[in-house]
Structure 1
Amino acid sequence: AGLRAVAAPLALAAVGPLLLAGYGLVALQPEPPAADRPLRMGLVQSNLTDYERLRRERGAEAVVREVLDIHFAMSFDAVERQQVDAVLWSETVYPTSFGQPKSQAGAELDAEIGATIDAAGVPFVFGTYDRDADGEYNAAAFVSPGTGLLGMYRKTRLFPFTEYLPAWLDTPTVRRWLPGAGAWRPGSGARVMPLRVSGGRDVPVLPLICLDDTDPGLAIAGARLGAQLILTMSNDSWFSAHAQGAALHQAVAAFRSIETRLPQFRVTTNGYSAVIAANGDVIAGTRMGERTLVIGDLPVRDPAPTLMVRWGDWVGRAAAGLLVGLALLPVLRRWVGGVPADTPAALPAQLLVLPRAARGVAGLLRLLSRGGALAIGAAALWGDGALQTNTLALLRMFTAVCLIPEAATWALLRVCTARPTLADGRLVLTRGARRLDIPLQDIAAVEPWRLPLPGPGASLRMKSGKTWPHGLALRDPWALARALGAPVQERPRQRAWWAQARCRAELPPSRLARPAFKFMLLPLLLAMPAFQLHQKIAYGSALGEFYSFGLGAYLTGFGLWWAAWIAGVVLCAAALRAVIELGTFTAALVRPQQAMVSRAWLERLGLAALYLGLPAWLLLRALAS
């Protein structure tokens, strides 16, 4: 259709970038000068790495002495020659708990650091450890001259398997397998600390340690708490042989400034230390693996709140919502567009060739399975409550009455599967070495089954007046008739039955109606919160059964909950299926020409009841308890 056809999608595609570009032009307008002079800070990148190896080679005392001497010397240069307002050291540069010494030697080192800061006359921020009754923390110490330790920030986002083990894996056995796994405790979240510089000025700063700077939520929380500056400390020594990883880490950290419009000082042990402007630009920085001092000036002010600060980390959620909406468009169009008209049909890839005895046995087994599901559902709903409280009894009954007959039906029908083809004016049905040929000229009509047992299908009426001795089970007998070029035989007195069968055959099935989604994924999603509630009520925590009886008992318990929800969803689906079939038949009796539309809406309502009603019921039960 030319340009007119592509104009609308091109315009829609341009809306998002244009809106973002317009917002960027407004947000990145030059800000007025800050009321106070810029904050000048010195970043000490010592290029000292692999403390553990150095400890083994030289001893702990010699290593700590070397680390402090190098940092003292570089900090002296920053204070005396560069006239900085504050000094920033990297993560865990002081590898023991500052302010809470564990020995007399530790107390002497603490005193030496305090005396050095007093002599410098500017505040220092450096990585160290903190501890309390719960354990140790990776922390940042804020120390001011003459005042001493003002406070600690405790790292919030710890690396799993290196800095800590997840609670569900923190067992003696796993500790033996992973001897290097740490035992640090996580901090409580973002914290704004005062940086007291000369002139009695307090600058509210947000400290972030290593992995913290990959979490937009921490930066946003700090901005909301009134921070005017971000101080980032990291130890990127594990990227020593792969500088690209350290560069990526710095790029991610710069996004915290872009999102909040807070300038940032970032120091690492040997990676990329940098002075980062509020728009994410790197004003000054280092190379990988060098010992150097970075000096930078950044204006400090209360920034205008960005959309990220106002709305939170909304971009990913908005994009995900847009993608979900685009994915649902075809479904909505199918719902609104109604049922497609008849189109030429090809033979199905497979169908079932059922002798009368096989159809009778399979139909009886399936009737027992589906009827048994309705009976169990009725007993659970209107009985004495025993099935609702006894999960094992429900599962045994469900297995005996529903699963075993259904499995037997599946095995029987699998033996009867054949591949249909048309060749030389004949319908050829092939299974392995077996082959059945039917001349098309001998077929007078295709007669759909009134009762879909063991499933929908049709019989072939021959021109001799007899019915071909095997039935053909397939979803759409009308499509088979079109492919064979034969008419469909419908008896006028049974018009409602035929209308219902045609609706069942020609209405395109929803993807949500697939057994994998309906009977496996949906029960799994329902079982997970229900199992967690059970764990907290029965054992006091989400992993209580695991801690008490081990992983085998925990997984067995979850398997039982999942199986129980599978049974529950099957029972609900059986009841809904009965309502849908009865409603379609009633519509076919009253208004046959509207039967297809009625069935389409009944199918949609049935899926909504299953996928929305069951979670809503579970939520109401949880809130009521």
Structure 2
Amino acid sequence: MTLLNNATVRTVGGILASGAMVALYARGGAAWALGFVLLAPWLRTLDASPTLAAALLRAWLMSLAYTAAAFAWFGSALGIYAQFGAATGVALLLLAAPLFQPQFIVFALVRHITLRRHGAVLGALAGAAAWVATQAAAPGLLGDTLGHGLYPSRLLRQGADVGGTAGLTVLLLLANEGVAAALARRADGWRVAARPLAAAALAPLLLAGYGLVALSASPAPAGKPLRVGLIQSNIVAYDRQRQEKGTHAVVREILDTHFAMSYDAVVRQRADAVLWPETAYPTTFGHPKSEAGADFDREILAIVNAAGVPFVFGTYDRDSAGEYNAAAFVQPGAGLTGFYRKTHLFPLTEYVPAWLDGPRLRRALPWTGDWRPGNGARVFPLRLADGREIAVLPLICLDDVDPALAIDGARLGAQAILTMSNDSWFSASPLGAEMHQVAAAFRSIETRLPQFRATTNGYSAVIDASGGVLAGTRMGERTLVIADVPVRVPPRTLMVIWGDWVGLAAGAFLALLAACSVLPSWRPRAAHAPAAVGVMPGPVDVAVLSPAARMAAGLLRAFARGGLLWMCVALLLDEALRTNTLAQMRMFSAFFLAPEAAAWCVLFLFSAKLSLADGKLVLARDARRLEIALADIATVRCWRLPLPCPGISVRLAGGQRYALALTDPGALAAHLAGAGGPAVQQRTHSLAVMQAYAQAALAMRRSRLDHPVAKFVLLPLALAIPAFHLHQQISYGGPFGEYYSFGLKAYLTAFALWWAAWAIGVVLSGALLRSAIESATLLAAWLRPARAVDIRQRLERGGHLALFLGLPAWLLLTIFRA
């Protein structure tokens, strides 16, 4: 009973500790740093769960704590809006917490199973993947996830342009896993606990490093800044005011207020355009329902003509299918130029799903609307008085929590985002309005588009491309917001190029992990037993490097590998480079082939055969032979930095030093010690990491798919043929159009260029996969040396799938989209 009580106390205490940190984290400010530790107490309770049922119970309790800590305001606002009381609204929200935050349940389920089958590293990765995949399938109310809490950190939030808030969430979850693992190992000493803690520290360090690079990058030149006046009238509760004053009087008051504030924006503040919030004109514009409505429409057109600048405002549109929550674009002299129709309607207030709709529900929820959704992102030209034409992307309310809409707008050429919202239902809970603005700000970071955001009563803001608020309002005030924002051609971020990819990648990772676990042929073979230490079975290929030679080869190889990764980034960000095969070939030759060949030449010039015989270490090359008595060796150290490849340093008693580059330095060090030489003077864990890493590489059986001909000749050929065929069809009207028009030489030259482009693409993809596989193997060797071989095998199979199936699948998807 005592043990049960202690376990219950620890569980409740861990969940309450995490819930308390979530409450602080959700309120922003300096509490953003808690994002890297806030789930650690709860994770410790999951680790202590003896059964899957216990883990799911603790996940359910954490979903309650998380919902109460971060979203109690939503239950309160819902209860007040629906007129059944704030307390009832909060109670209903907590009752539905597992449905409201399902990622906790899925996370605990996947993590528990993976942890027991595959160990802590894959357990942490699978749990993080399950979290973001669940949120991709069932987004939160405001698209909310852990990554949103990093918004107060200008430096760390910049990583959202790579993987969105889902990518930030993955790093936060892995950091929390590292902290939880460190807490679990603290009894074993600080050295043992420091390893997972150091792994956890990688998340903020990576984000900070990327943020520094992103913020220091030179932006594209900008022309004259765009100056938009945002009208926050602080007029709310339209329905109640209609009952008290009548519809005509309410519309009259709303328009008079907006007209007066717009006059101030244009005449006194010299605004280039005016933006009103969602439903600021609370009736259909351009399709009046009465003569009074037609008079209001004509009055708005007259105001716009008198102002001489374009107006964008929230209103309603309608057609034969029904009514839409919309944004009207009105130009001086031209009148109404178009409508954007809101894409994401709020359920049970703006619309009801067809399967749920009916007379009973309408009687129970009389406030429920019947609007129709729009059909996605649209970009409109904003024609300014000085002759400029700015492409803008309008978003209404919940539209700004969907990354896909902003990404589609950026792809359509938008230069700025215009966001309209009516957040008056947050009046009693400003935290909800603040979280909504944070979600909207991430759309600017992901696309690098500035944003003008007008709301009815707060928060309104002008947001720059880094997500920072240049000018903003408080909740519940009537004010005009205006600021100058540079308008330029935005850079093509990875989010714009790939879309909101992290959730899909997480789902693919889980599917691959499940396949590896279920399919018998994919189950990892048992790790090979290490060879007995003693006499070496035969000579070993080594390179005997001087300090200068090692530095030269190491720098050349690091430059070559870094050149490949740099080319990957350059191709992702530079659209012109992606279509210039000759430039790619020149870069590939200069940044990879040349330094790699030079590094190989250095290693070849210093190559030798190493063997152990009669108590001596023998280095032989051709007729030259160097014998070193093992008794004369003072120290042996494994290289901490495996450049140009792994190796060991041997120092003799007389002071001479030899740097030996070879494949398996750990095995050689063990053989030296077993033959009577000195033991490696290095921390035991460092040697174990290197041995586990080397054994994981040596245990891999080379597949036919790994042969350079298969990987870098046949695969690019298989990809180049359909792509070249499609190019010929589009450009020349047939598969041999270029041959008939310009001859065989031109045809073969064009095909060779396509083949070369795909070969470079395969090499770059292979480099990315190889860097991921080697990094993950090294991490596994550090954290779980005994499982390094198993993990390496799974990673290698996943790499084969990604390269030989992923690239063709991507090509087919591209062809079908085209």
Seen in structure 2, the aligned counterparts of structure 1 residues 329 and 4 have a Cα distance that, compared at 3 Å, is farther
Counterpart residue number, 2:371: 184
Counterpart residue number, 2:492: 305
Q: Please give the alpha-carbon distance, in whole angstroms, between the structure 2 residues aligned to 1:65 and 1:321.
A: 55
Structure 1 residue 70 and structure 2 residue 219: aligned? no
Residues 286-331 of structure 1: per-residue CA shift (max 9 Å, x gap): 0100000111111111111111111111234445666787899999
What amino acid is the match of 2:350?
A: E
Seen in structure 2, the aligned counterparts of structure 1 residues 51 and 289 have a Cα distance that, compared at 3 Å, is same
What amino acid is the match of 2:459?
A: Y
Q: Please give the alpha-carbon distance, in whole angstroms, between the structure 1 residues aligned to 2:200 and 2:503.
A: 18
Q: Please give the alpha-carbon distance, in whole angstroms, between the structure 2 residues aligned to 1:2 and 1:66.
A: 70
What is the aligned counterpart of 1:207 among 372, 394, 406?
394
Q: Please give the alpha-carbon distance, in whole angstroms, between the structure 2 residues aligned to 1:335 and 1:319.
A: 21
Seen in structure 2, the aligned counterparts of structure 1 residues 32 and 316 have a Cα distance that, compared at 3 Å, is same
Seen in structure 2, the aligned counterparts of structure 1 residues 289 and 158 have a Cα distance that, compared at 3 Å, is same
Q: Please give the alpha-carbon distance, in whole angstroms, between the structure 2 residues aligned to 1:318 and 1:13.
A: 22
Q: Please give the alpha-carbon distance, in whole angstroms, between the structure 2 residues aligned to 1:331 and 1:12.
A: 30
Structure 1 residue 165 and structure 2 residue 356: aligned? no
TM superposition shift of 1:103: 1.4
What is the aligned counterpart of 1:198 among 371, 380, 385?
385
Matching of residues 242-253 of structure 1 within 5 Å = 242-253=429-440
Counterpart residue number, 1:267: 454
Counterpart residue number, 2:243: 56
Residues 84-143 of structure 1: per-residue CA shift (max 9 Å, x gap): 100000100101111111111111110000000000011000000000110000000000
TM superposition shift of 1:46: 0.3
Q: Please give the alpha-carbon distance, in whole angstroms, between the structure 1 residues aligned to 2:219 and 2:398.
A: 33
Q: Please give the alpha-carbon distance, in whole angstroms, between the structure 1 residues aligned to 2:426 and 2:383.
A: 33
**Contact 2:316 2:323 survives alignment (8 Å):** yes
What amino acid is the match of 2:368?
A: A
Tell me the secondary structure at the aligned position of residue 256 of structure 1. helix
Q: Please give the alpha-carbon distance, in whole angstroms, between the structure 1 residues aligned to 2:315 and 2:342.
A: 10
Structure 1 residue 86 and structure 2 residue 273: aligned? yes
Tell me the secondary structure at the aligned position of residue 306 of structure 2. helix
Q: Please give the alpha-carbon distance, in whole angstroms, between the structure 2 residues aligned to 1:224 and 1:103.
A: 40
Residues 138-167 of structure 1: per-residue CA shift (max 9 Å, x gap): 000000111101100000000010000011
Counterpart residue number, 1:219: 406
What is the aligned counterpart of 2:473 among 283, 286, 307?
286
Tell me the secondary structure at the aligned position of residue 169 of structure 1. coil
Q: Please give the alpha-carbon distance, in whole angstroms, between the structure 2 residues aligned to 1:266 and 1:193.
A: 16
Higher helix share: 2
Q: Please give the alpha-carbon distance, in whole angstroms, between the structure 1 residues aligned to 2:241 and 2:364.
A: 24
Structure 1 residues 22-31 or 143-152, which shifts more? 22-31
**Contact 2:222 2:486 survives alignment (8 Å):** no
Structure 1 residue 37 and structure 2 residue 228: aligned? no
Q: Please give the alpha-carbon distance, in whole angstroms, between the structure 1 residues aligned to 2:471 and 2:203.
A: 33
Matching of residues 364-443 of structure 1 within 5 Å = none
Could you list the runs of 5+ residues in structure 2 that have no partner in the other structure? 1-187, 528-818
TM superposition shift of 1:181: 1.0
Identity in percent: 69
Q: Please give the alpha-carbon distance, in whole angstroms, between the structure 1 residues aligned to 2:472 and 2:510.
A: 38
**Contact 2:393 2:409 survives alignment (8 Å):** yes
What amino acid is the match of 1:224?
A: R
What is the aligned counterpart of 1:114 among 294, 301, 307?
301
What amino acid is the match of 2:242?
A: R
TM superposition shift of 1:29: 2.5
Tell me the secondary structure at the aligned position of residue 418 of structure 2. strand
What amino acid is the match of 1:269?
A: T
What amino acid is the match of 1:261?
A: R
TM superposition shift of 1:240: 0.7
Q: Please give the alpha-carbon distance, in whole angstroms, between the structure 2 residues aligned to 1:273 and 1:31.
A: 28
Seen in structure 2, the aligned counterparts of structure 1 residues 70 and 144 have a Cα distance that, compared at 3 Å, is same
What amino acid is the match of 2:284?
A: S
What amino acid is the match of 1:164?
A: Y
Tell me the secondary structure at the aligned position of residue 93 of structure 1. coil
Residues 480-528 of structure 1: per-residue CA shift (max 9 Å, x gap): xxxxxxxxxxxxxxxxxxxxxxxxxxxxxxxxxxxxxxxxxxxxxxxxx
What is the aligned counterpart of 2:425 among 238, 258, 282?
238
Q: Please give the alpha-carbon distance, in whole angstroms, between the structure 2 residues aligned to 1:55 and 1:219.
A: 35
Matching of residues 455-466 of structure 1 within 5 Å = none
Counterpart residue number, 1:525: none
What amino acid is the match of 1:303?
A: P
Q: Please give the alpha-carbon distance, in whole angstroms, between the structure 2 residues aligned to 1:229 and 1:21.
A: 26
Residues 534-565 of structure 1: per-residue CA shift (max 9 Å, x gap): xxxxxxxxxxxxxxxxxxxxxxxxxxxxxxxx
Residues 322-378 of structure 1: per-residue CA shift (max 9 Å, x gap): 678789999999954669xxxxxxxxxxxxxxxxxxxxxxxxxxxxxxxxxxxxxxx
Counterpart residue number, 2:362: 175
Structure possessing the higher radius of gyration over alpha carbons: 1
Counterpart residue number, 2:323: 136
What is the aligned counterpart of 2:290 among 81, 85, 103?
103
Structure 1 residue 258 and structure 2 residue 445: aligned? yes
Structure 1 residues 329-338 or 141-150, which shifts more? 329-338
Seen in structure 2, the aligned counterparts of structure 1 residues 240 and 284 have a Cα distance that, compared at 3 Å, is same
Residues 13-46 of structure 1: per-residue CA shift (max 9 Å, x gap): 5655555444433332254464421001111100
Seen in structure 2, the aligned counterparts of structure 1 residues 322 and 281 have a Cα distance that, compared at 3 Å, is farther
Q: Please give the alpha-carbon distance, in whole angstroms, between the structure 1 residues aligned to 2:510 and 2:218.
A: 36
**Contact 2:516 2:523 survives alignment (8 Å):** no
**Contact 1:265 1:274 survives alignment (8 Å):** yes
Tell me the secondary structure at the aligned position of residue 159 of structure 1. coil
Q: Please give the alpha-carbon distance, in whole angstroms, between the structure 1 residues aligned to 2:193 and 2:498.
A: 34
Q: Please give the alpha-carbon distance, in whole angstroms, between the structure 2 residues aligned to 1:326 and 1:17.
A: 27
What amino acid is the match of 1:221?
A: D
Residues 563-613 of structure 1: per-residue CA shift (max 9 Å, x gap): xxxxxxxxxxxxxxxxxxxxxxxxxxxxxxxxxxxxxxxxxxxxxxxxxxx
Q: Please give the alpha-carbon distance, in whole angstroms, between the structure 2 residues aligned to 1:338 and 1:30.
A: 48
What is the aligned counterpart of 1:127 among 302, 314, 328?
314
Q: Please give the alpha-carbon distance, in whole angstroms, between the structure 2 residues aligned to 1:32 and 1:218.
A: 24
Q: Please give the alpha-carbon distance, in whole angstroms, between the structure 2 residues aligned to 1:324 and 1:13.
A: 26
Counterpart residue number, 1:504: none
TM superposition shift of 1:65: 0.5
Query: Structure 1 length normalisation: TM-score?
Result: 0.51
What amino acid is the match of 2:264?
A: D
Could you list the runs of 5+ residues in structure 1 that have no partner in the other structure? 340-625
What is the aligned counterpart of 1:315 among 474, 499, 502?
502
Q: Please give the alpha-carbon distance, in whole angstroms, between the structure 1 residues aligned to 2:325 and 2:383.
A: 23
**Contact 2:227 2:483 survives alignment (8 Å):** yes
Q: Please give the alpha-carbon distance, in whole angstroms, between the structure 1 residues aligned to 2:431 and 2:200.
A: 33
